[in-house]
């Protein structure tokens, strides 16, 4: 997998997720996206919305 981000080193993302887990955020997920760099794509945002909706118990609220 290409772990290239033109602004933030990949290991910072991994360490951030690890730190969140150690701070009690057990359901935090670090998920890299191939070829994304330092940008977002609709698939990524859809997954973030779904993750938040599930974690916050908002299913069926749309």
pLDDT in tens, 14-43: 999 999 999 999 888 898 888 888 888 899
Instruction: Report pLDDT for 14.
Output: 92
- Torsion-angle region of 17 (φ positive above 0: left; ψ -120 to 50: alpha; else: beta): alpha
The stretches of 1-62 forming alpha helices (DSSP H) are: 10-22, 42-55
Residue (of 7, 9, 27) closest to 17 by Cα position: 27
Q: Which residue has the higher pLDDT, 35 or 47?
A: 47
Q: State which H helix or E strand residue 18 sits in.
A: helix 10-22
pLDDT at 59: 86
Count of alpha carbons within 13 angstroms of residue 44, beta-carbon side: 13
């Amino acid at each position: 997998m290409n772990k290239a981000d033109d602004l933030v080193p990949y290991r910072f993302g991994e360490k951030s997720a690890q730190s969140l887990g150690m701070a009690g955020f057990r359901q935090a997920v670090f998920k890299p996206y191939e070829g994304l760099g330092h940008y977002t794509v609709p698939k990524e945002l859809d997954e973030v919305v779904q993750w938040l909706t599930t974690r916050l118990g908002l299913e069926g609220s749309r």
